[in-house]
């Protein structure tokens, strides 16, 4: 997936978001690593595949949650 380069401001934002995402999905990445390390090649495309996919989806969901939590979407209530 090729994308055009980001402006310096957007690249700085991407780097900041990258650091936040790393922290947010750290547990899922470790679980994926443990699942793969515990699986032999003969059974790699069995339950281990489904477990890794579920963890990857969970990491993706956390990525969206992290991104949206940083957005300024709150509006003031009635006066």
pTM confidence score: 0.75
Question: Does residue 24 surpass a pLDDT of 90?
Answer: yes
Question: Does residue 79 surpass a pLDDT of 70?
Answer: no
Q: Total domain count for the chain?
A: 1
Within a domain: 63:
yes
Q: What is the mean pLDDT of residues 4-30?
A: 93
For residue 62, give its domain range.
26-68
Within a domain: 48:
yes
Q: What is the mean pLDDT of residues 4-18?
A: 92
Within a domain: 19:
no
Q: What is the mean pLDDT of residues 39-60?
A: 93
Measured CA to CA, the distance from residue 61 to residue 57 in angstroms comes to 6
Within a domain: 77:
no
The answer for residues whose C-beta is within 8 angstroms of residue 25's C-beta and 6 or more apart is 59, 62, 63
Q: What is the mean pLDDT of residues 59-70?
A: 93
Question: Taking the CA atoms of the chain, what radius of gyration do you get in angstroms?
Answer: 18
């Amino acid at each position: 997936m090729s994308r055009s380069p980001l402006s310096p401001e957007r690249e700085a934002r991407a780097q900041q978001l990258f650091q936040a995402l790393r922290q947010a999905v750290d547990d899922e990445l470790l679980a994926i690593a443990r699942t793969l390390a515990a699986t032999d090649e003969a059974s790699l495309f069995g339950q281990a595949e489904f477990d890794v996919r579920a963890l990857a989806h969970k990491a993706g969901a956390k990525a969206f949650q992290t991104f949206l939590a940083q957005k300024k979407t709150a509006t003031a209530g009635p006066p």
